[in-house]
Amino acid sequence: MKTKNILTSISIILFFFSSCYYDKEDQLYPSSGICDSTAPATYASTMVPLFQQYCYSCHGGTASSGGGILMGTYATDKAMALNGSLYGSIAHASGYSPMPKGLNKMTDCQISKVKKWIDGGSLNN
Ligand code: HEC
């Protein structure tokens, strides 16, 4: 009886650990499964959600952990697109600090969407 109780407790604990793990992964990579590289890449519907997920925590308005480099408005994000550092940093090109700093690289699909927006003229669309 005692052994059975211990086994039951262990299974319950394992169950909670595994469900936590998956919850966390869903939070960390919410859009990685649904990135469609052929869909239009607009500032409001594509870039802002990506930047919120990967960049604004450090570079957004009041955040202080972005080394003084600001993002979070169309003007700041466009300036970063135009000077080449947006694409250089997320593509981990040589000569740029790899971003997002200390986190997983964005997926190829996400990077190609950012490139598509830049190549389309970094419009405020
Ligand atoms: C964990 C905090 C953090 C996150 C998240 C982050 N950055 Fe940074 N970023 C920094 C810091 C700190 C610096 C300044 C020091 C350096 O260059 O490494 C920096 C520098 C930069 C630079 C200048 C690099 C250069 O070589 O000129 C760019 C551009 C940049 N970040 C873009 C981004 C973009 C785009 C994202 C999202 C994909 C992002 N960062 C996510 C902290 C972060």
Closest CA to 67 of 55, 51, 75: 55
Cα–Cα distance, 114 to 122 (Å, whole number): 9
Q: Is residue 97's pLDDT more than 70?
A: yes
Residues having CB closer than 6 A to ligand 1 are: 54-55, 57-59, 65-67, 69, 80, 85-86, 89-90, 96-97, 99-103
pLDDT of residue 38: 86
- Give the phi and the psi of residue 80 in degrees, each rounded to 5: -65, -35
pLDDT of residue 64: 83
Q: Is residue 6's pLDDT more than 80?
A: no
Core vs surface per residue 59-79: b (16+ CB within 10 A) or e: bbeeeeebeeebbbeeeebbe
Q: Which of 22-26, 102-106, 112-116 has the lowest mean pLDDT?
A: 22-26
Spacing, Cα 3 to ligand 1 middle (Å): 53
- In this prediction the pTM is 0.79
pLDDT of residue 62: 83
Structure tokens at 84: 């080449």
Q: How confident is the model at residue 1 (pLDDT cuts 50, 70, 90)?
A: low
pLDDT of residue 19: 46
Range 21-50 average pLDDT? 72
Q: Hey, whose CA ends up nearest to atom 36 of ligand 1? A: 55
User: Could you identify the atom of ligand 1 that is nearest to the CA of residue 96?
Assistant: 26
Q: Hey, whose CA ends up nearest to atom 26 of ligand 1? A: 96
Q: Is residue 18's pLDDT more than 70?
A: no
User: Could you identify the atom of ligand 1 that is nearest to the CA of residue 55?
Assistant: 37
Q: Is residue 109's pLDDT more than 90?
A: yes
Q: What is the 3-state secondary structure (H, E, C) of 49-94?
A: HHHHHHCHHHHECCCCCCCCCCECCHHHHHHHHHCCHHHHHHCCCC
